[in-house]
Amino acid sequence: MNRTLTVYESEIPALERHILSVNDIKTSFADNCIINANLFDCIDYIPNGYFHLIIIDPPYNLDKDFNGTKFTSMKSDAYEDYLRSWFYGVCDKLAPNGTLYMCGDWKCTASMQRVIEERLTIINRITWQREKGRGAKNNWKNAMEDIWVAVKNPHDYYFDVEAVKMKRKVIAPYKVDGKPKDWEETESGNFRITYPSNFWDDISVPFWSMPENTDHPTQKPEKLYAKLILASSKPGNRIFDPFLGSGTTAVVAQKLGRSFCGVEINHEYCLWAVKRLLNSIDDKSIQGYADGVFWERNSLGSQKAAKTAKATKQSEQAIVQPLLF
Ligand SMILES: C[S@@+](CC[C@H](N)C(=O)[O-])C[C@H]1O[C@@H](n2cnc3c(N)ncnc32)[C@H](O)[C@@H]1O
């Protein structure tokens, strides 16, 4: 079933009421806002030192049509100047102990590293093995993205590794004295809870059968941003995304109890973001994240089995409990 988000004409007036303009934020700035504007026109009206986390997914150095606004590939020097033109201003928005993530592909990642290091300290580089990508006859298929991790103060930043643990199927179930060594035997299979590395191969791009999917050409998966947000912010913290697109940062922030501010130049993308936000009031699920852990790709069957086993156990306990008294 195609579950790609659709905004109907009749919904637009109600959705538009949630979108702010530059003039709105000039008079007063409030949390949890979607600003439909050119970043260059509104950056001065967003408070400095305010955000605990900033997630940036800018136009990459590629020819790309964002709903009529075309980005054109350029020489690396020119692309670095483009990055500088907004990056310094965005950095000013980061709290002194804040963290900033920036996504890029093989072609623009070196430029990003250089520009980020002009203002912040890079503490890691995550490589996301992105499944989707065009196969090319004369080149290797592009199936990876980088996510740079940078902080203002390398001696004072927040990182909660416990919040981003992974649940992986055990291939070789090693036992000591007949008992599982560092893994768990369950009705839905054998699993190990592990700490994440900086190579991520457990996240697919959103596609048509997922409710989070929109027609945005470069939408990021909610699962990917959930990892960034859980590791690098506390509940209640403030998160900024200067290139919001279809609203992934805002939606995941809301689902995880953080506040958000996003800027997006395209009006239709803002409508999609607002509709996703409204949908997420009732549905806080994030595909691939359940019971406080991140599951592997294509593990929906195991997740459902685990949920059923948990529900069965709970109902058995409910029946057994009265007999105890
Ligand atoms: C790579 S996409 C971000 C996608 C987003 N992470 C998501 O999950 O949907 C970059 C976005 O930046 C927007 N954009 C480009 N230049 C902009 C500008 N000067 N001000 C605000 N938004 C801009 C584009 O319209 C596009 O939606």
CATH of the domain at 152: 3.40.50.150
Give 83-93 pLDDT, tens digit per residue.
999 999 999 99
255, two tokens: 């689902």
Q: Is 245 in the pocket of ligand 1 (CB under 6 A)?
A: yes
Q: Is the pLDDT of residue 303 over 60?
A: yes
Give 171-215 pLDDT, tens digit per residue.
887 888 888 888 888 877 889 999 999 999 999 999 999 999 999
Q: Is 85 in the pocket of ligand 1 (CB under 6 A)?
A: no
Integer Cα distance of 295 and 317 in angstroms: 26
Q: Please tell me the predicted confidence (pLDDT) of residue 307.
A: 73
**Contact (Cβ atoms closer than 8 angstroms) between residue 18 and residue 36:** no
Calculate mean pLDDT across residues 54-70: 95
Give 14-39 pLDDT, tens digit per residue.
999 999 999 999 999 999 999 999 99
Say if 169 falls within a structural domain: no
pLDDT band at 317 (very low <50, low <70, confident <90, very high): low
Q: Is 264 in the pocket of ligand 1 (CB under 6 A)?
A: yes
State the distance from the centre of ligand 1 to the C-alpha of 220, rounded, in angstroms.
Answer: 11
Residue with tokens 């936000």: 277
Q: Please tell me the predicted confidence (pLDDT) of residue 45.
A: 98
Q: Is 269 in the pocket of ligand 1 (CB under 6 A)?
A: yes
- Amino acid letter for position 201: D
Q: Is 299 in the pocket of ligand 1 (CB under 6 A)?
A: no
Calculate mean pLDDT across residues 40-61: 98
Phi, psi (deg, nearest 5) at residue 304: -65, -40
Give 213-254 pLDDT, tens digit per residue.
999 999 999 999 999 999 999 999 999 999 999 999 999 999
Q: Is the pLDDT of residue 320 over 70?
A: no
Closest CA to 193 of 224, 231, 166, 163: 166
Q: Is the pLDDT of residue 274 over 70?
A: yes
Give, using CA atoms, the residue closest to atom 7 of ligand 1: 219
Q: Please tell me the predicted confidence (pLDDT) of residue 302.
A: 75
Calculate mean pLDDT across residues 131-151: 88
Cβ-defined contacts of 15-24 (< 8 Å, 24+): 15/271, 15/274, 15/275, 15/278, 16/271, 16/274, 18/274, 18/277, 18/278, 19/267, 19/270, 19/271, 19/274
Integer Cα distance of 245 and 261 in angstroms: 12
Describe the chain by its helix, strand, coil percentages, rounded to 5: 35, 25, 40
Q: What's the structural domain count of the chain?
A: 1
Structural domain that includes position 113:
9-159+196-291
Q: Please tell me the predicted confidence (pLDDT) of residue 146.
A: 98
pLDDT band at 325 (very low <50, low <70, confident <90, very high): very low
Say if 201 falls within a structural domain: yes
Averaged pLDDT score across all residues of the chain: 93
State the distance from the centre of ligand 1 to the C-alpha of 144, rounded, in angstroms.
Answer: 19
Q: Is the pLDDT of residue 310 over 90?
A: no
Q: Please tell me the predicted confidence (pLDDT) of residue 80.
A: 98
Q: Is 69 in the pocket of ligand 1 (CB under 6 A)?
A: yes
Integer Cα distance of 174 and 7 in angstroms: 51
Say if 146 falls within a structural domain: yes
Say if 212 falls within a structural domain: yes
pTM: 0.93
Top-confidence residue, 302 or 115:
115
Give, using CA atoms, the residue closest to atom 4 of ligand 1: 245
Percentage of the chain beyond pLDDT 70 is: 95
Q: Is the pLDDT of residue 315 over 80?
A: no
State the distance from the centre of ligand 1 to the C-alpha of 172, rounded, in angstroms.
Answer: 44
Please report the atom of ligand 1 found closest to the CA of residue 243: 12
Say if 319 falls within a structural domain: no
From the number of C-beta atoms within 10 Å of its C-beta (0-12, 13-18, 19+), residue 107 rates as: middle
Integer Cα distance of 294 and 46 in angstroms: 33
Q: Please tell me the predicted confidence (pLDDT) of residue 299.
A: 79
Say if 302 falls within a structural domain: no
Please report the atom of ligand 1 found closest to the CA of residue 216: 9
Q: Is 250 in the pocket of ligand 1 (CB under 6 A)?
A: no
